[in-house]
Amino acid sequence: MLLYRASHRGMKETDQLFGNFAGARLAALSAAELDEFDSLMDESDSDLLNWILGIEQVPNELTGSAVLKLIIAFNNK
């Protein structure tokens, strides 16, 4: 379910960034990290894309998100 949601968000760019991460890393995430990933999926595509690409600063309430940091690092390697 999470893999499908990550790959079918709406914006092609976010589908690719989130879908690639999910395909490669979801199986290795803990239950708490999976919950965090699920919560991140509630954010808008444009915000997620801008944070991952470094166009906009991650908001204070998400700067401690280990999963968002993993996604950013995965997509910026």
Per-residue pLDDT for 11 more than 90? yes
pLDDT for 10: 87
Q: What is the 3-state secondary structure (H, E, C) of 30-65?
A: CHHHHHHHHHHCCCCHHHHHHHHHCCCCCCHHHCCC
pLDDT for 77: 79
Look up the CATH number of the domain holding residue 9. 1.10.150.250
Question: 49 is in which domain, residue-wise?
Answer: 2-75
Contact 6, 14 (CB under 8 A): no
Per-residue pLDDT for 17 more than 90? yes
The widest CA-to-CA distance across the chain, in whole angstroms, is: 30
DSSP code, position 76 = T
Report, as an integer, the average pLDDT of 44-53: 95
Number of structural domains (the chain) is 1
Contact 20, 51 (CB under 8 A): no
Per-residue pLDDT for 14 more than 90? yes
